[in-house]
Amino acid sequence: MWGGRFSDKPAELMQAINVSIGFDRRLAAQDLAGSKAHAAMLQKTGVITSDDARAILDGLETIGAELAAGTFPFREEFEDIHMNVEARLRELIGPAAGRLHTARSRNDQVALDFRMWVREACARTGEQVRALQRALLAKAEANAATIMPGFTHLQPAQPVTFGHHLMAYVEMFGRDASRFADAGARMNESPLGAAALAGSSFPIDRHMTAEALGFARPTANSLDSVADRDFALESLAAAAICAIHLSRLAEEIVIWMTPQFGFIRLTDAFTTGSSIMPQKKNPDAAELIRAKAGRLLGSFTQLAVVMKGLPLTYSKDMQEDKVPVFEAFDALELSLRAMAGMIADMQPIVENMAKAAGAGFSTATDLADWLVRELGLPFREAHHITGAAVKRAEQLGVDLPGLPLGDLQALEPRIGAGVYDVLTPQASVASRTSYGGTAPDQVRAQIQRWKERLP
């Protein structure tokens, strides 16, 4: 395709490092769509004849059928998906195929194809994130009043509900979905027509091709059009953050599955056994999701390093942009589907959660709040008294509800028997009625809000 300037074929090693058809064949559908839009525009603007346009479009339809049937002859000698399609088009329709590349370069062609692929991936991934949110909502609704310990530093902090805990992830994944949507909106400009870097001298209509391909508008600067990979970086950043959220949830599932916690069960569908220890039931799906976060973080770093030192406009380095993006979205989409399956499969062990919720002096803050509310103490003084109460309970080997009233009154004589009404995990949870709190009615309100928001 570019042999006029060259007398010899590339060396075998040059061909090996230069060829990209092994991975950019995934852009075939986008390449065909862009070529069809470009051909129709060239015909309408009078750059090519109607007969040539018809032949080109018919040939592209044939190639599309071959791709769908798995019979398209991908060949490394043609280097990439663009040259493969053009070479096959020439075989099908003859010299008219050569007119398709008028007013176009592989630089704007690949920028278009890749942008379209990433745009579709963001939309697809956003829907998978919403599917996971729906699974979390269903589980949260069934457990809006299920008591469990809340943690800071992985130490018992205050009682919460399992539904409230799961709703925290609904919020996280909601931000992820919005990031994919934002990235999709920002990349929704067509680079087609920027040509190699400077635009075209032909009377092309870039607005026509942008509209035909579902873009809001054409890009405004031809140099930036072919040099930009922000859309890929931004999408990878969104994917990496989403993977971090998945990894955090996966880590909790792994912890909850241990006998030491015993908070949840997973069925055989999402666990594996051991080849030597017959008692084992391992949460391997969660562990693999946790590990895949590293791959996504690496993908973002890989592309950022590729792009960081490139002058305008296109450099062959940018051929290395696709593999990290393809790999990242493959891993993320699999992880999202697996996590949604695990959440639906997961069953809380309510009695273990409730027992743990009352351990570790988890209602200490409720005691301090009671001292402020009922006795009018400054919070710092109430905090000090409560700390002393915890210390005394430790000495006696009891939790706060088991601490004798006399020991409490030794710390503050005005404490009455009514204090015990706030020292149970159930009372603690019920009292957290502030907006976004863990009280079951608040949890149910947030569940309803998300049900109305999710499409």
274 is catalytic: yes
Identify whether the C-beta of residue 140 lies closer than 8 Å to the C-beta of residue 447.
Answer: yes
Give the pairing of strands 189-190 and 217-218. parallel
The number of beta carbons lying within 10 Å of the beta carbon of residue 158 is: 19
The number of beta carbons lying within 10 Å of the beta carbon of residue 317 is: 12
Name the helix (H) or strand (E) containing 157: strand 155-161
Q: What is the DSSP letter of 282?
A: B
C-alpha–C-alpha distance, residues 285 and 345, integer Å: 12
- Catalytic, out of 7, 153, 201, 275: 153
**Which residues, listed in sequence order, are joined to residue 264 by a DSSP beta bridge?**
348
Please give the structure tokens belonging to residue 6.
Answer: 């060259």
C-alpha–C-alpha distance, residues 109 and 198, integer Å: 14
428 is catalytic: no
- Catalytic, out of 7, 35, 190, 274: 274
Q: What is the DSSP letter of 196?
A: T
Sequence-distant (6+) residues with CB within 8 A of 360 are 149, 155, 156
Residue bearing tokens 């391997």: 284
The number of beta carbons lying within 10 Å of the beta carbon of residue 97 is: 21
C-alpha–C-alpha distance, residues 94 and 242, integer Å: 48
The number of beta carbons lying within 10 Å of the beta carbon of residue 30 is: 22
Catalytic residue ranges: 153, 274
